[in-house]
Structure formats: C-alpha cells, structure tokens
Structure 1
Amino acid sequence: MSNANHGRTGLVLLACCVGQLLVVLDGTIMNVALPSIESALSFDANSLQWVINAYLIPTAGLLLLAGRMADLFSRRGFFLAGIALFTVASLAGGFAQDATQLIIARAGQGVGVALMSPATLTVLGTTFTEPAQRAKAFGLWGAAGGSGGAIGVLAGGVVTEWLSWRWVMLLNVPVGIALFIVAAISITPSAVQAGPRKLDILGAVSVTIGIAALVFGIAQGEREGWGSPVSLISFAVAVVGIAVFLYDQAKIASAPLVPLNVFRNRSIVAANISMFCVGAAMASTFYFLTLLMQFVLGYSPLVTGLSYLPLSVAIFLGAGMVAPQTSKLGGRFTLLSGLVAGVIGLGWLSFVDSRATFVADLLGPSLLFGVGVGMVLGTVANLATAALPSSQQGLASGLLTTGQALGGAAGLAVLVAVANFSGGESRVPEQMASGYANAFLGTAVLLVIAALAAAAMPKVSRDASDESAPEPVVAHI
C-alpha cells in the first residue's frame, strides 16, 4: 500500500470512528444534563422525557432504511448528509429558547445519526478488505462506539457542572465540521451496480413506523405502565407495521428492503442476536451503574463521570488491542472470549451492596465488562458485514445497528422492571442496591444468551473481499 493510500485509509478510519463515537456519546451525554435543562427551559415532568425520546425514536426507526438506501444510492453521500444534519441540529439545540425548539433539534440529531451510523460500518467494510487490517479497523470502530457511552456520562457531568447544559450540544458543532471535512476528503465515491435502483416504499414506510412505534411503546411503558393506553396503542401500531413489512418483503416487493433469505446465513442471525443482547447489556449496565454510584454510594455527577474512566479505557483496549490479536484464532473465539469476560464482570457486580467501595467492588467488574464488550462490538460488526457481499453492506449495517438500538430500549425497560420489583424504587440504600444487583444479574443472563448465539456461528466466515461474483461497475456517485 502506497503512503498516499495509507494516509487516505487512515483518515477514513478516523472519520468512521469519530462518527460512531458521536452516535453513541450523544445518546448518553444528555442524561446528566436533564435536571439543568428542565429548569432552564421550563419542561414539565411529562415532557422532559422527550429530550431523550425525540433522539431515540427517529434513530431506531430509520437505521434499517438508511442502511439500505446507502447501498442503493451513495454511502459517502449518506455519511456526509448525516454529519451535516447532526451538526446543524446540535447548533440549533444549543441555542434553543424553549422546550419545543430543543425537542425538534433532538429529533434532527436522531435523523442525522440514523443516516450516519450504518454508513460508518459500510464505509469501513468496503475500505478495509484485507483480514488483518479489517479486524483492526473494526476493533477501533468498536472501541469508539463502546467507550462512547461511558465518555458521554463523564462529558455530561463535566460540561454541565463547569460550563452549561447548552455546551453538551454546542461541542458537537466544531467536531461535526471537522468530521465533515475529513470524510469529504478521504472517503471515495462508491461504485454501484448496473440497472435500476428501486426503493421498496411500502417496506420502508411500514418498517420505519413499526420500529419507531415499538421504541415509543417501550419508553412509555417504562414510565407510565405497560397497560397504559398510549403503550398499548403504540405496541398495536408496531405489530401491524412490522407484520405489513414482513408480508411485503415475502410476497409483494420486487426489490425488497430486507431480502428475507439473508436470515438463512447463520453468521448474520448469530451476529444480530449477539448485538441485540450486547446493546441491552451496555444500556442497562451504564444506567444501573450510574444509579448505584449516585443514589446508593452518594457520588456527585462529576465523580460518577470520572469513575467511568477505567471502563472507557478497558473498552478501548478490548476492542483496539485485544480483539485484533485474538482474531487470529477466529472471530468466534474472540466473540465467545469477550462474552465470557462480560458475564464474569456482571456476575461480580451482582454481589454489590450499599457498603460497596469503588476499588474493591466496582473497579474489577468494570474492567472485565469493558474488555469483554470491547472485544465483542467490533468482532460482531466484522462478522456480520463480512457475511454479505459489498452490495448489501448497508443492509448488514442497518440490521446490526437497529438490533443494538432495539436491544438497548427493550433490555433496559425489562431490567428496570426487575430492579424496581426487587427494591430499586425504594429510597432505602440497602434495598436499592439489592434491586440494582438483580438487574446486573439479569444483564449477565443477556450476555449468556449472546454467547449461545455466538457458539452457533460458523467457525469460518467469508471475508468481505472474497466475493463469489464481482459486481459490475457502471458509475461513481
């Protein structure tokens, strides 16, 4: 590889990793700032949740569609459009003068993220095709995404306490501008297949409505009760939307958004089950660990954020250093090793009580969980995208990121119910700690399910560069 080409691919890797970092970071950084936002913009108790929901719902609902559209039209274009929209929405949110303006800005961020997130994987998968380079690239992508959640908690605490909640959004602006420039310079236009590029409109609309309604129903059920009218209506809409989508894919669409035969591939199925469970485990662990440190152990938001530093470093090391080395023994070995480490870490956390100290009771489990999750994230993404031809890289990425988003929403809702049932709603530290401990145990069970799925994965996955039939190239877009 020439120096010029090596430099270009290095910039591509940087752009994809920073893009994924922003995607995950912005999903958690707002949580710490919510009390300040509520006071500054006069939110009421019911509307404050929309600062989070307005971001999550369009993100989850549009990921699958955006991934497939990137395949059909332009991966580079969708990446750049996502960065641009996310940056503009962040600027608008930083200067929001009332609750409505902030919620609209958060929705804009969510749409931008939906365009950007699958593209980070598709660009990586089509740029790095040599196995060793590919493993390293996906490892660093996993490190960026995995550590983003922990960095978000830290950054949210620091920025809110030292500056203002507005800077939680405004800091995205210079990063977004720099990222847009780097991506525009380094990412080359993608080659496309000959023939018409049809978009399955019925499938696109039905799956977007179905997934968005599902995430909204889960969020409302967690806050208002699973039997509330809003939750029940949302779940009914989700069932209808997803049913219409599946029927369309199987019977109607001539060019389906998600060809159902991809699920005959064991690597695709195993990778998506694993990512769903890992997404649920990460969202739940960050949530309950934050509550444990603040409500039971009495840490301030700033100290809580700083306490996530070892976890962030562990995720980065697991994804960026350990996984590329163990990948020489096979992707399945790396996946299973990481999941086992995560299960041990969460099992250790399930023994926590109100007398816990950071060094004795939280540091070790955080490091084990961090290294394990770091090993898993990039490896799952690598295996899932390598299992499909380059013309379906966006589809693979959309499936994977949608599964992670749905896992985070559904897993957290279920485990909140588990924690509350066993004392998490109490204001007595001992009872709260007991509830959170049970939630950590439930999270460990999720990773056990992921490990069972990973064990069913074929030992050898076809690399993305090993195409059985090269695609005819007719244009560059």
Structure 2
Amino acid sequence: MPKSAETRLPDPSVPLADPTRWKALAFIALAQLMVVLDATIVNIALPSAQQDLGISDGNKQWVITAYALAFGGLLLFGGRIADLWGRKRTFVVGLLGFAAASALGGGATGEAMLLGSRALQGAFGALLAPAALSLLAVMFTDAKERAKAFGIYGAIAGGGGAVGLILGGFLTEYLDWRWTFFVNIPFAIVAALGAYFVIREPSGSRNRSPLDIPGVVLSTLGLVSLVYGFTRAESNGWSDPMTISLFVAAAVLLAAFALVESKVKSPLLPLRVVADRNRGGVYLSLGLAIIAMFGLFLFLTYYLQVVEGFSPVKTGFAFLPMIAGMITGSTQIGARLMTRVAPRLLMGPGFVLAAIGMLLLTQLEIGSSYAGLILPAQLMLGLGMGTAFMPAMSLATHGIEPRDAGVASAMVNTSQQVGGAIGTALLNTIAASATTAYVASHAATAGNRQLLELQALVEGFTSAIWWAVGILLAAATIAVTLINTGRPSATPAAAGAEGAEADAAVPVVMH
C-alpha cells in the first residue's frame, strides 16, 4: 500500500506544532522591528533634539552611543536571563521596560535625561532581542515553516534600519523629534499584550543553573570597551591614547572572559555555542555584512540629503527599494530555497550579490542618476542581503541544546550590534580621511569652494564603499568555507556529517 499523508502515522517523538505560532510570529516580528528601527530612527531626529535640549557637538554622539553601548554590552547577559527566567517572561518585561524608557526619552527636559533614557532603551533591548529570536526557534519546529518564519524575521532584521530612516524623517518633518521616542510605546504595548496572551513557551527548556557573575562582568565590560573604542576612534582618531587603551582593555577583558568560561561549571557563554563551525561562521559573516551595511546607510543618507538636497522624508522613501529587495530576498528566495539547498549556497551568493550592488555605488558622483545608479544598486543589495540573512538567522541556533537557546540567539544580536558600531566608526573614519586628502590636493586649482567640498564628500563616500565591497566579499568567503551543514530537511543518510544529524533533529533540538 502506498504511504499517503492520510495513512502515515504521526511520529510520537516529534512534538505537535504550537497552534498559535503564526500569531506569535506577528508580535515577535513587531518587537524586532521596534528594536532594529530604533538604532536609526533617532539619527534623523538628532539635529532637532540637539538644538532643543542644548546638547553640545561633543556630546551629541552619546545619543547614539549610549544605546549601542548598553545594547551591545548587555546582550549575552540578556540571553542568559531569557534561558534562566523564561523567554516569554523576559520578552514581555523587556518590551514594557523599552516602552517606559521611550516615554522618558520623549519627555526629556535636558541632556542627561535623554542620554539616560537611551541607555535604558539599550538595556531593555538587550533583554527582549535574544528572547524574541529564541522564542521563534522554539515555536517553529517544521523545516519548511521554520524557513518561512525566519524569512520574515530576517527581512525585518535587515530592513528595519531603513524603515527607521523613513519613519524618523516623517516624524521629525511633520511632528516633532520627541515622536521618534513616543512611537515605540504603542509598538511595545501591542507586542507585550500579544505575547502575554498568545505565546506558550514549551516547558522543560529553561536553564536553571546558577548565574555566572564573573562572566557577566567580564563580557559586559569587554563588549562596552570594544564598542566604545570604535565609537571614540570615529570622533578622536585611531591614534588617540584613550582609543588605544579601550581596545587593549577590550582584548584583555574578552580573553579573560574566554578563560573563565572554559573553567566555570555554569558558563554565561558555553564555548560549545561558538566553537561549532556553522554557528561560528554565521556570527562572523553576519557581523562583517552588518559592518558594510551600517556604513552604507550613513553614507547614502548624507549623500541624498547634503549632496542631492533631498528632504528627510524623501531620503527615507529613497531607501524603499532596498527594503523591498530584502523582503523579496528573505521571503521569496531564501525561504523557498532553504529546504532545498545548503545554507552556504544561499549565504555566499547572497553576500556576493550585495557586494556587486555596493560596487555600483563606488561610481557615485555629484548629480548621479537615482534611477540609473542608486536604484539598481539598492535592489541588488536588498535581494542579496535578504537571501543571506534568512538562513543566517535560522542557522544561528543550529543544533543548539534548548538550555543554550537564549545565549545562542544573543550571539546573533551581539554580532549585529558590534558590527554596526565597527561599521559606522571604521567606514566613517576612512571616508573622512579621503575627504580631507581630496580637499588638500585640489584646493589650489578649485574655483568654487562649495563645489570642492561636495566633490570631496562624495570622494570620501566612494573610498569607504570600496572597503565595504571587500568586507562583503570576505563575509561571502567565510560563509562558503566555514558553514558546511546540509539543507534543513536532509536526512542523516543523505547528508552524512555532524551537520546533517543536527538538521535531522530539528523538531527536537533546534531551539
């Protein structure tokens, strides 16, 4: 008798799918969008907030840096809290805390209050972001459904920054900079209520071992030193003694953290999480890709507003093709192919396509055609990154034990946050150096000083974008060489290696 879907008996070892999983995905995606867009939404509002609250030029970067430091520094701790305390509870508390911090920022009466609220937003973001990703991994156990869910999540993770630019432009131009904070409150409350009533976290997946306090202290201080080092390099230069001291401190603290984690009984970051070549490949390639993307957001925003004279709203809309490309790449290409081909065959070509799009942008000049140059470049960038992000997000929790789910999810967010801080500082410094050199070499022959400054600015952008092309190609190389797991629906017999065994166990262990 042929085996049909009707006659095949269900496998008792595979848990039944959670009936509320798609509703839960909507609330998890909403929370992820809020966290990601908050990294860029304030950028456009910053000049207005600075003028309104009397923030000095020297301190204005702290509006961005305070968020990045708290978020990047506390992510591993947040992931461990989710494993210990429960992912649903951590997620809801993180959302409510984020809403309260946003209300504080929107009502800020001075510089200290605004900076404090940004640090609080980062801290609560570090709680809810890893909880969101690990909840998704726990609730979607079927390989095809998992691919679709992570496709949606990947598109939001990749495109949320550009959505932030659009929303930031609208709110700043038509309402007030304070609304870039207040807008988070309905997002957070709707997501928290939805999560509370809809999400059912599987029992028995918590890690109740004691909290690794030395690990928490060393990892937080190490990551804060690293992120602040790159931020300071952007404003004070790479040879600044304080910048060098921060990098040395970060290296020492993170080395001490790795040593402690190899010795303690219940480590904050079990080294098995990062030692796996597939997960390690994801964290590394994703971090590099984010370095390239964050730099690009910054340069294109400045190019469109300063060089081409676009308004904040028009600038935001100019990023729409990239968002469309990311959504298409994630949900139509990545999600459809993920159960048919190995993840490296999506990630490698995806990063290469993004690099080709980036390569087009090295041709930017004053008056470059948006339709002829920027539009096709954005579409390629979006399609490439969307296709690569989706399997990367899913692979980040590849073969992980349920007790490590929060920490593995936190590592994805950590690679994104640290990558974003490095990208902004590194590429901005390269651009500034190239701009200065161009002005120095052309000052004697330039007739129009204003035109010279704009040409120098564009020269700086294109010089840095060349570096971004190289960084994306490096991400593609790492993805193809390090990641060796088979497709998620592969059977152990067909795929043959450790990766296939983990993939075949998706319904049981992929949390």
Do both proteins adopt the same fold according to a TM-score greater than 0.5, normalized to the shorter chain? yes
1:204 matched to 2:216? The reply is yes
Against the structure 1 CA distance between its residues 394 and 64, is the aligned structure 2 distance closer, same or farther, given a 3 Å change threshold? same
| 1:448 corresponds to | 473
How far residue 264 of structure 1 moved from its aligned partner, in angstroms, is: 3.4
How far residue 336 of structure 1 moved from its aligned partner, in angstroms, is: 1.8
Residues 72 and 192, structure 1, Cα contact 8 Å, conserved in 2: no
In 2, distance between residues paired with 1:108 and 1:464? 38
How far residue 391 of structure 1 moved from its aligned partner, in angstroms, is: 2.1
Equivalent of residue 169 in structure 1, options 181, 203, 213: 181
Correspondence 1:261-272 to 2 at 5 A: 261-272=272-283
1:388 matched to 2:413? The reply is no
TM-score by length of 2: 0.87
| 2:330 corresponds to | 319
Equivalent of residue 373 in structure 2, options 337, 358, 361: 361
1:255 matched to 2:280? The reply is no
In 1, distance between residues paired with 2:196 and 2:223? 31
In 1, distance between residues paired with 2:472 and 2:206? 42
1:316-349, Cα deviation, whole Å (9 max, x unpaired): 1111222111212232211122112101100111
In 2, distance between residues paired with 1:379 and 1:76? 24
In 2, distance between residues paired with 1:95 and 1:106? 12
Residues 385 and 464, structure 1, Cα contact 8 Å, conserved in 2: no
Equivalent of residue 88 in structure 2, options 49, 66, 76: 76
Residues 288 and 436, structure 1, Cα contact 8 Å, conserved in 2: yes
Against the structure 1 CA distance between its residues 195 and 233, is the aligned structure 2 distance closer, same or farther, given a 3 Å change threshold? closer
In 2, distance between residues paired with 1:120 and 1:464? 22
In 2, distance between residues paired with 1:281 and 1:197? 38
Q: Which amino acid aligns with 2:470?
A: V
Residues 267 and 387, structure 1, Cα contact 8 Å, conserved in 2: no
In 1, distance between residues paired with 2:433 and 2:356? 24
Gaps of 5+ in 2: 1-9, 11-15, 440-451, 487-498
In 2, distance between residues paired with 1:399 and 1:169? 27
1:431 matched to 2:456? The reply is yes
In 1, distance between residues paired with 2:475 and 2:177? 37
How far residue 175 of structure 1 moved from its aligned partner, in angstroms, is: 1.4
Residues 418 and 439, structure 1, Cα contact 8 Å, conserved in 2: yes
Correspondence 1:57-456 to 2 at 5 A: 57-192=69-204, 197-251=209-263, 253-327=264-338, 328-423=340-435, 428-456=453-481
| 2:44 corresponds to | 32
Q: Which amino acid aligns with 2:322?
A: L
Residues 125 and 464, structure 1, Cα contact 8 Å, conserved in 2: no
In 1, distance between residues paired with 2:175 and 2:309? 23
In 2, distance between residues paired with 1:195 and 1:48? 40
Residues 333 and 387, structure 2, Cα contact 8 Å, conserved in 1: yes
1:377-412, Cα deviation, whole Å (9 max, x unpaired): 221010121232222211211111111111111122
Residues 102 and 182, structure 2, Cα contact 8 Å, conserved in 1: yes
Q: Which amino acid aligns with 1:435?
A: G
SS in 2 for 1:218: helix
Residues 399 and 506, structure 2, Cα contact 8 Å, conserved in 1: no
How far residue 6 of structure 1 moved from its aligned partner, in angstroms, is: 6.8
SS in 2 for 1:428: helix
Give every structure 1 segment of 4 or more consecutive aligned residues whose post-TM-superposition deviation is greater than 6 Å: 468-471
How far residue 453 of structure 1 moved from its aligned partner, in angstroms, is: 1.0
Against the structure 1 CA distance between its residues 72 and 424, is the aligned structure 2 distance closer, same or farther, given a 3 Å change threshold? farther
In 2, distance between residues paired with 1:27 and 1:142? 16
After superposition, the CA RMSD in angstroms is 2.2
Higher mean alpha-carbon deviation, 187-196 vs 297-306, is at 187-196
How far residue 225 of structure 1 moved from its aligned partner, in angstroms, is: 1.8
Aligned residues: 468
In 1, distance between residues paired with 2:144 and 2:86? 26
In 2, distance between residues paired with 1:463 and 1:341? 31
Q: Which amino acid aligns with 2:304?
A: M
In 1, distance between residues paired with 2:207 and 2:82? 16
How far residue 466 of structure 1 moved from its aligned partner, in angstroms, is: 4.7
1:187-230, Cα deviation, whole Å (9 max, x unpaired): 11342369851111101110011101111121111101223343
* Greater radius of gyration (CA): 2
In 2, distance between residues paired with 1:368 and 1:151? 18
Against the structure 1 CA distance between its residues 186 and 36, is the aligned structure 2 distance closer, same or farther, given a 3 Å change threshold? same
Aligned identity (percent) is 33
In 2, distance between residues paired with 1:387 and 1:224? 43
In 2, distance between residues paired with 1:237 and 1:81? 32
Q: Which amino acid aligns with 1:308?
A: F
In 2, distance between residues paired with 1:385 and 1:140? 16
Against the structure 1 CA distance between its residues 291 and 443, is the aligned structure 2 distance closer, same or farther, given a 3 Å change threshold? same
In 2, distance between residues paired with 1:260 and 1:302? 45
In 2, distance between residues paired with 1:364 and 1:277? 22
Gaps of 5+ in 1: 472-477
In 2, distance between residues paired with 1:371 and 1:233? 40
Residues 141 and 507, structure 2, Cα contact 8 Å, conserved in 1: no
In 2, distance between residues paired with 1:334 and 1:15? 27
Q: Which amino acid aligns with 1:444?
A: V
How far residue 454 of structure 1 moved from its aligned partner, in angstroms, is: 1.0
Against the structure 1 CA distance between its residues 462 and 382, is the aligned structure 2 distance closer, same or farther, given a 3 Å change threshold? farther
How far residue 113 of structure 1 moved from its aligned partner, in angstroms, is: 0.7
Equivalent of residue 34 in structure 2, options 22, 28, 32: 22
